Amino acid sequence: MPGQLMLVDSPALWYRALYGVPDTVRSPQGEPVNAVRGFLDLVSRTVREHKPARLVATLDLDWRPAFRVAAVPTYKLHRTTEGGAEAEPPELAPQVEVILEVLAALGIAVVGVEGHEADDVLGTLATRESGAVDIVTGDRDLLQLVNDDGPVRVLYAVEKMKPYGEAEVSAKHGIPGRAYADYAVLRGDPSDGLPGVKGIGEKTAAALVSRFGSIEGVLAALDGGSEDGFPSGARAKLEAARDYLAVAPAVSRVVRDLPLPEFDDRLRRVPKDPAGLLALSDRWGLESPLERFLQALALATDE
CA quadruple 75, 76, 80, 85: dihedral sign: negative
Q: What was the pLDDT predicted at 2?
A: 45
Q: What was the pLDDT predicted at 1?
A: 47
Banded pLDDT at 226 (limits 50, 70, 90): confident
The CATH number that applies at residue 60 is 3.40.50.1010
Q: Helix %, strand %, coil % for the chain, to 5? A: 50, 10, 40
Mark whether 243 and 264 lie in a shared domain: no
The average confidence (pLDDT) of the chain is 96
Mark whether 201 and 286 lie in a shared domain: no
The mean per-residue pLDDT over the stretch 19-34 comes to: 97
Mark whether 194 and 89 lie in a shared domain: no
User: For residue 226, what is the DSSP state?
Assistant: -
Mark whether 74 and 210 lie in a shared domain: no
Mark whether 141 and 290 lie in a shared domain: yes
Q: Which of the listed residues 234, 252, 270 is the one where a domain comes to its end?
A: 252
Q: Are 165 and 145 in contact (CB under 8 A)?
A: no
* Strands of the sheet with 133-137, listed across from one edge: 109-111, 54-58, 5-9, 133-137, 152-156, 162-164
Mark whether 242 and 141 lie in a shared domain: no
Q: Which residues partner with 57 through β-bridges?
A: 8, 110
Mark whether 154 and 10 lie in a shared domain: yes
Mark whether 119 and 34 lie in a shared domain: yes
Q: What was the pLDDT predicted at 14?
A: 98
The CATH number that applies at residue 226 is 1.10.150.20
Cis preceding linkage at 151, omega within 30: yes
| pTM given for the model | 0.96
Q: What was the pLDDT predicted at 34?
A: 98
Residue 237 CB-density burial (10 A; 0-12 exposed, 13-18 middle, 19+ buried): middle
> Is the per-residue pLDDT at 245 higher than 80?
yes
Q: Which of the listed residues 236, 252, 268 is the one where a domain comes to its end?
A: 252
Mark whether 55 and 150 lie in a shared domain: yes
Domain of 191? 180-252
Mark whether 138 and 234 lie in a shared domain: no
Task: Report which secondary-structure segment, H or E, holds 95.
Answer: helix 92-106
Q: Which of the listed residues 252, 268, 291 is the one where a domain comes to its end?
A: 252
Q: Which amino acid is at 168?
A: E
Mark whether 208 and 193 lie in a shared domain: yes
Q: What was the pLDDT predicted at 303?
A: 60
Q: What was the pLDDT predicted at 291?
A: 98
Mark whether 197 and 166 lie in a shared domain: no
The tally of domains found in the chain comes to: 2
Q: What is the pLDDT of residues 66-106, one digit of tens each?
A: 999 999 999 999 999 988 889 999 999 999 999 999 999 99
